[in-house]
Chains A and B, each alone.
Chain A
Amino acid sequence: MNQRLLIVTGKGGVGKSAVAAALSIQAARRGRRVLAIGMTEADGLAFHLGLERLRYSVTEVRPGLHAMAINRPEALDEYLRFQLGVPKLTRIGPIARAFDALASAAPGIRETVTIGKVLNEARSNNWDLVVADAPPSGQIGSHLRAPRTISELVGTGKIREQVRWMHDHMADPARTGLIVVTLAEELPAVETAEMLEWLDAEELIDVAAVISNRILEPLGASVPVGTTGAVQEAAALHAGIYREQQRWLKTLPVDVQLPFLFGVTGPAEVASRLADVLEER
């Protein structure tokens, strides 16, 4: 995970935003200048950074740790002006609206605006690390594939010239890595395996790590024979979840296991405790 851009994805509910926040917090603690970007409309990244919500303009969360969220109208405005060179004096409103409507029908264009913003920040000299809290695994494919989709779809046009560098930047394992977060449970494990297979075939981005979240330690010992009630039940549940998790872990090439966190009271605490765990590694 030494790349300057880490794109974090995973099935909904696995703790993708928590892991993205934890990676950002841990890097910032080590003195790196970090930008965390929320790529979707959900506020998960904001909560895990201890904020109510994020804006398009970058805010400093704590020394070294910065955050923003991609808001489509603003990202589009910036894209049209700086990437496509719409002149300053032009009223951008109607153009942006027309572009957005057309982009909602033509594949790859909206995604290019979003992923383009992330890639642009990553290649600027402003940050040592950019962590993107990306769309869930069901939608990440169209984002990662956006540059290729456009070069297939658009014969001429300025946007076609744009996507070349995006594709190269994303496909370069020295610069960009994908982090796939999962749980050791049936649905997330199956979805993760399918996604890894797809990623392997498409060769769009290097998978920097598969992170399995909420993993229990072994129970330690079995409870003494004859124990009943709560102690016996708790031990049985622990052992049962542990067994189920080990079974699904075997189906995935997991690089990092993050622990199940007992007793957490808020999302910011989740992210900061996961950052502690990453720190110890």
Chain B
Amino acid sequence: MSIPILVTGAGGVGKTTVSAALGVSLARQGLETLVLTVDPAKRLASALGVQHLGGEPTANPDLPTLWAAMLDADSSWDEIAKRHASPEAAARLVNNEFFRTITRHFPASQSYAAAEKMADYLESNKWDVVIVDTPPSAGGIEFFTAPTELSDLIGGRLFRWITGGSLPGRRELYNLAARPALRVVDIALGSDLLERVTMFLFDLRTTYDGLRARAKEIEKHFRRSITLVVTTAEPAPVIEASKFFQALPDVAQPPKAVIFNRVLPVAWEKAEAPDGTPRLLARNLALWAREARRQEQVRDEFAARYRTNVAQIGWQATAPTDLDALGSLIADVPALTAKGLGL
């Protein structure tokens, strides 16, 4: 079966670029590779050969072993409803005024949609590896916990209690406002809204069995995945990266490597401006030397604390916009070759 490679890390560190670069590199090593991404910059999307959201994976015209697809959470949720609810309930759900809200409100909505898509593509066996650029989270590992959290929410006591404990699918009208706890909600929201929402929850609950079974399958994919953590040497992303190192072994696999992005060469630490260099220029050069030293220290501390491989990607002034530029980002990084990843 295809091998999942899950690329995690804080927002803004270059996860999408790293996922794309890894895709190019593995595809060039002859592996059929799919990159599943969330919200790439326009220039990056066109480098990968994908133009619009939600489409089926497409092969890159210049590198046929490289495939890419962009996730559209809303349309993925329509598919999820159709898959897990009866046809009638699914039709009511996707047209329901509350369906969009609940899918967007569920904190890990985009994560769940991405995880389901990932599982579909893995099971189709069309690719050797499926690289997932994991969606941004509110800090932490929500991509990995989303499937269970979602099925717990829908199948949980709460929804059962509100909908009156009847079996899923049984739409039984009863006097909602007669129940004391709901009476207060009724005063707050008005009976009309309360009734509409409750009817909606009836339909939603019918998806529970399907969702729960799917969540278990998705978890199995997580457990056999290769995980990578991307960070920069900035303080806040490094804290996020530590959290991934602490949490990933419990929900997936210990990370294969930490990938430091925007790395300055170690040689810069000794860079001295020649005599006669104008003051501002000399000061700027000294700052970069100091920053290079600090970065190396951050990497060394991280490697020592988590006993992990450190992969480095150099700082680029402009984002890579074509396959060659993407591929060369990680061409020299042994930990990220097919062999380094154990593929």
Chain A residues within CB distance 8 Å of chain B = 11-15, 17-18, 40-44, 47-48, 80, 84, 86, 90, 94-95, 97-102, 104-107, 109-110, 136, 138, 142, 153-160, 183, 185-188, 190, 217-224, 227, 229-231, 233-241, 243-244, 262-267, 269-270
Known: A47-B239, A102-B194. A237 touches B315 (CB 8 A): yes
Q: List 12 A-B contacts (CB under 8 A).
A: A12-B12, A12-B136, A95-B181, A102-B185, A156-B192, A187-B41, A223-B273, A230-B270, A236-B317, A244-B317, A263-B294, A267-B235
In the complex, the answer to whether A244 meets B188 with C-beta atoms within 8 Å is no
Which chain B residues numbered 104 to 157 have a C-beta less than 8 Å away from chain A? Answer: 104-107, 136, 138-139, 153
- Give A267 to B267 CA distance when docked, in angstroms: 26
Alpha-carbon distance between A48 and B265 when the two chains are bound, in angstroms:
28
Question: Per DSSP, are chain B's interface residues mostly helix, strand or loop, or mixed?
Answer: helix
B11 within 8 A of A: yes
Q: Which residues of A contact B334 (CB under 8 A)?
A: none
Contact B281 A221 (CB under 8 A): yes
Contact A101 B277 (CB under 8 A): no
Q: Which residues of A contact B319 (CB under 8 A)?
A: 185-186
In the complex, whether B166 has a CB less than 8 A from a CB of chain A is: no
The reply on B161 being an interface residue by CB < 8 A is yes
Interface stretch of the complex, out of B26-34, B47-55, B209-217, B284-292: B284-292
B302 at interface, CB cutoff 8 A: no
The 4 A-B residue pairs with the shortest CB-CB distance in the complex, in nearest-first order: A13-B12, A240-B317, A12-B11, A220-B280
- The reply to whether A231 and B11 form a contact with Cβ atoms under 8 Å apart is no
Verify B185–A263 contact, CB threshold 8 A.
no
Give the CA-CA distance A158 to B276 in the complex, in Å. 73
Task: State the Cβ distance, B183 to closest chain A Cβ, in Å.
Answer: 9
Chain A residues with CB below 8 A from B61, complex form: none
Q: Which residue of B lies closest to A94 (CB)?
A: B181
Which has the most chain B C-beta neighbours within 10 Å: A102, A107, A190, A227?
A102
Cβ-based interface call for B318 (8 A): yes
Chain A contacts of B197 at CB under 8 A?
A: 102, 105-106
What is the distance, in angstroms, from B194's C-beta to the closest C-beta of chain A?
7
Contacts of A224 in B (CB 8 A): 274, 276-277
| B193 nearest in chain A by CB position | A154
Is B10 close to A, CB under 8 A? yes
Determine the interface band of chain B, counting residues with CB < 8 A from chain A.
Answer: 35 or more
User: Which B residues touch A101, using CB under 8 A?
Assistant: 158-159, 162, 201
Total number of residue pairs linking A and B with CB closer than 8 Å: 204
Closest CB in chain B relative to A183 CB, distance in Å: 8
Whether B189 lies near A13 (C-beta < 8 A) is: no
Q: Given B106, B287, B291, which contacts A104 in the complex, CB threshold below 8 Å? A: B106
Chain A's nearest CB lies how many Å from the CB of B305? Answer: 15
Chain A residue contacts of B106, Cβ below 8 A: 104
Q: How far is the CB of B228 from chain A (nearest CB, A)?
A: 18
Shortest Cβ distance from B191 into chain A, in angstroms?
A: 8
User: Are A241 and B187 in touch, CB under 8 angstroms?
Assistant: no
* A244–B320 CA distance with the chains assembled, in angstroms: 13
- A155 CA to B195 CA in the complex, in Å? 13
Given A158-B187, A231-B273, A237-B288, the answer on whether A269 and B193 have CB atoms closer than 8 Å is no
CB distance A238 to B192 under 8 Å?
no
User: In whole angstroms, what is the CA distance A266 to B200 when docked?
Assistant: 47
CB distance from A236 to the nearest CB of B (A): 8
CB <8 Å contact, B190 and A262: no
| Contact present for B271 and A231 (CB under 8 Å) | yes
A231 to chain B, nearest CB (A): 5
Q: With the chains together, A157 CA to B281 CA distance in Å?
A: 65
Are A238 and B288 in contact (CB-based, < 8 A)? yes
**Residue B307 at the chain A interface, CB threshold 8 Å:** no
Smallest CB separation, B268 vs chain A (Å): 5
C-alpha spacing A44/B239, complex, angstroms: 10
Least CB distance, A250 to chain B, in whole angstroms: 16
Most buried by B among A99, A190, A270: A99
CB distance from B50 to the nearest CB of A (A): 16
From B139, B162, B264, contact of A102 by CB (8 A): B162
Q: Which of A100, A223, A266 contacts B235 (CB 8 A)?
A: A266
Chain A residues near B270: list those with CB within 8 A.
230
From A40, A98, A264, contact of B182 by CB (8 A) = A98
Partner of B98, one of A94, A106, A186: A106
Question: Are B193 and A157 neighbours in the complex by a CB distance under 8 Å?
Answer: yes
Chain B residue numbers with a CB within 8 Å of A270 are 235-236
Measured CB to CB, the closest approach of chain B to A113, in angstroms, equals: 11
**Contact: A219 with B13, CB < 8 Å?**
no
Q: How far is the CA of A266 from the CA of B31 in the complex (A)?
A: 40
Docked Cα-Cα span, A159 to B187, in Å, equals 8
B155: shortest Cβ distance to chain A, in Å? 13
Residues from chain A with a CB closer than 8 A to the CB of B105 are 104-105, 110
Q: Could you tell me the distance in whole angstroms from the C-beta of A91 to the nearest C-beta in chain B?
A: 9
A74 to chain B, nearest CB (A): 17
List B contacts of A222 (CB < 8 A).
281
Tell me how far the C-beta of A269 lies from the nearest C-beta in chain B, rounded to whole angstroms: 7
Minimum CB–CB distance from B336 to chain A (whole Å) comes to 22
Closest to B282 in A: A220
Q: Which residues of A contact B198 (CB under 8 A)?
A: 102
Q: Is the CB of A106 within 8 A of B11?
A: no
Which residues from 308 to 323 on chain B have a C-beta closer than 8 Å to any C-beta of chain A? Answer: 315, 317-319
State in angstroms the CA–CA spacing of A223 and B237 once bound together. 32
Let me know if B235 and A264 touch, CB within 8 A.
yes
CB–CB A44/B139 < 8 A: yes
Tell me which residues across on chain B come within 8 A of A104, comparing CB atoms: 101-102, 105-106, 153
Within 8 Å of chain A (Cβ to Cβ): is B342?
no
Task: Determine the distance from Cα of A47 to Cα of B294 in the docked complex, in whole angstroms.
Answer: 20
CB-CB under 8 A from B332, the residues of chain A are none
